[in-house]
Every structure is written in structure tokens, then in C-alpha cells.
Amino acid sequence: MTAFMVNDPPPTLRRELGLRDVTLFAATCMISTRWLPIAARSGPSSIVLWLLASVFFAAPLTAAVGALATKYPAAGGLYLWTRRDFGPWHGFLAFWCYWLGIAFLFPTAALLYARVGFSALGSSYGSIGENRFYLLAATLVLIWIGLGTNLVGLRIGKWTENLGALASFGVHF
């Protein structure tokens, strides 16, 4: 026996992320602390490159994501879009590449921010960031905070992401 009756509507996901949440997430991905040393080394000419990237990358990406989200409003994002347009194998490959990228990016970012966080607390804490044990412990704490709050649901998890984005922007100023 199934959990749903024949006449029951299928369950749907609630849209928990608002415009502010998505904007903070996208801006943090593009204008993050990790890019500051690269931009500083390039000098003022890098501003032109950032503007060109906004026009020729971010704007078309936004338009494409908006069109695909309208075409396929169901949950699944990149995986769903690729699967529906190109088939199951390509959908799997898109999911696998995305997952693998996140699997390496997230711990690396947590390690970077743990080390920067220790340094930002002052010279007395900066040496703690050099100790592998404390650095690993802080990195694991950051990963578990991010994972744990998102396992509870996006209603809570989005605030962890928003705080991370605001903290990243706080370092800039």
C-alpha cells in the first residue's frame, strides 16, 4: 500500500531561499576573499576584467539559469536540466562532476577560512592556525556546522550560508 491516495497531490518542496539568499550566495561565489590576492597582484587593470566577466559570464549565466528554472520548475537543478534535455547518462555525469567539485571545494574553503579566521583574531591566535591539530579541528567544526544546519533544512541552513557570505564581505572592508 502506498503512503499517498490516488487523488492526493504529489508532495512538493517549499521554496526556502529568497532573492536576498540567492544574491548573497552568488555574490560570495564571485567576489570572495580568495580572489583578493589575485586581483591585488594584477593591479587596477583587474577591475576591467571583473566588469567584463560580469557582462560576458555572470549576466548570461543568470539568464540561462532563469530560463532553465522556468522550463523545469521541479527540484533538481543542474542534474534535472541536463537529464531532461540530454538523457540519463548526461544527467548522471553532470551530477557527478558537480558533486566531485563540491566535495573538494568545500573542505578546502573551510580550511582556508579557518586559517584566515585564526589570523584575523590577532598574532597570538595566528600561531594556533599553524598547528595542524587546531587547524583540522576548526575545519571539521566549520564543515559540521555547514552540513548540520543544512541537514535540518534550508530554513535554518540558509542562515549559515548568509552569515558566511556576510563574514566574507566583512573581511573586504
Which residues touch 43 (CB under 8 Å, ≥6 apart)?
none
Q: How many CB atoms sit inside 10 A of residue 118's CB?
A: 20
Task: State mean pLDDT over 158-167.
Answer: 77
Task: State mean pLDDT over 95-121.
Answer: 86
DSSP, res 11:
P
Task: State mean pLDDT over 104-109.
Answer: 86
Task: State mean pLDDT over 139-154.
Answer: 86
Q: Which pLDDT belongs to residue 6?
A: 62
CA angle 94, 156, 162 (to 5 degrees): 75
For the chain, give the percent of residues with pLDDT over 70: 84
- Residue 63 and residue 124: Cα distance in Å, rounded? 47
**Which pLDDT band, with edges at 50, 70 and 90, does 32 fall under?**
low
Q: Where are the domains of the chain?
A: 88-173
CA angle 118, 109, 42 (to 5 degrees): 90
- List, for residues 36-91, the tens digit of each pLDDT value: 677 778 888 888 887 888 788 878 888 888 888 888 887 778 888 889 889 999 99
- Residue 79 and residue 52: Cα distance in Å, rounded? 28
- List, for residues 37-51, the tens digit of each pLDDT value: 777 788 888 888 878
- List, for residues 91-102, the tens digit of each pLDDT value: 999 999 989 988
**Which pLDDT band, with edges at 50, 70 and 90, does 30 fall under?**
low
Which residue, chain included where needed, has cell 537543478? 77
CA angle 12, 14, 20 (to 5 degrees): 150
For the chain, give the percent of residues with pLDDT over 90: 12
Cα–Cα nearest to 136, from 167, 115, 117: 115
| Cell numbers at 32, concatenated | 570572495
